[in-house]
Amino acid sequence: MQLKHANVRLVKLPANIDLILFLIQEELKTTRLFNGLSDLGLSDCFYQSHFATVILASAGFKERPDDLYEFYLDLINRRSKKIKPEYDSVARQAFKVYIDLMIEKKNRAQKQIGV
* 1 in a structural domain: no
Q: How many domains does the chain have?
A: 1
* 3 in a structural domain: no
What are the CA-CA distances from residue 62 to residues 18, 43, 44, 108, 109 (Å)? 20, 32, 29, 11, 11
* 6 in a structural domain: no
Stated pTM of the model: 0.85
Q: What is the pLDDT of residues 64-113, one digit of tens each?
A: 999 999 999 999 999 999 999 999 999 999 999 999 999 999 999 999 88
* 7 in a structural domain: no
Q: What is the pLDDT of residues 6-48, one digit of tens each?
A: 555 556 778 889 999 999 999 999 999 998 888 788 777 778 8
